[in-house]
Amino acid sequence: MIDSPYLVTPGSKLKLSDHKTDDTGKFKDKSDAQPDTQKNLARLEELQELLYAEAKHAVLVVFQAMDAGGKDGSIEHVFSGLDPQGCTVTSFKSPTPLELAHDFLWRIHIAVPPKGMFGIFNRSHYESVLIERVKNLVPEKVWKNRYDHINEFERMLSEEGVTIVKFFLHISKDEQKKRLESRLQDAHKQWKFNLGDLEERGRWDQYMEAYEDALRKCSQEYAPWYVVPADRKWFRNWVISDILAKTVDRLDMKYPKPKQDLSKVTIE
* CATH number, residue 29: 3.40.50.300
Asked whether residue 148 is domain-assigned, the answer is: yes
Asked whether residue 21 is domain-assigned, the answer is: yes
- Share in percent of the chain as helix, strand, coil (round to 5): 50, 15, 40
Asked whether residue 165 is domain-assigned, the answer is: yes
Asked whether residue 111 is domain-assigned, the answer is: yes
**What pTM was computed for the model?**
0.95
The H-or-E segment that residue 182 falls in is helix 173-185
pLDDT, average across residues 71-94:
96
**pLDDT for 212-268, tens place per residue?**
999 999 999 999 999 999 999 999 999 999 999 999 999 999 999 988 888 888 898
Asked whether residue 257 is domain-assigned, the answer is: no
Owning domain of residue 168? 16-175+207-249
State the pLDDT at residue 268.
86
Torsion region of 123: left, alpha or beta (phi above 0 gives left; psi -120 to 50 gives alpha): left
The sheet with strand 162-170 has its strands ordered as 87-91, 118-122, 58-65, 162-170, 225-229
Asked whether residue 267 is domain-assigned, the answer is: no
Asked whether residue 162 is domain-assigned, the answer is: yes
Asked whether residue 196 is domain-assigned, the answer is: no
Residues 6+ apart with CB under 8 A from 25: 5, 235, 238, 239
Domain count, the chain: 1
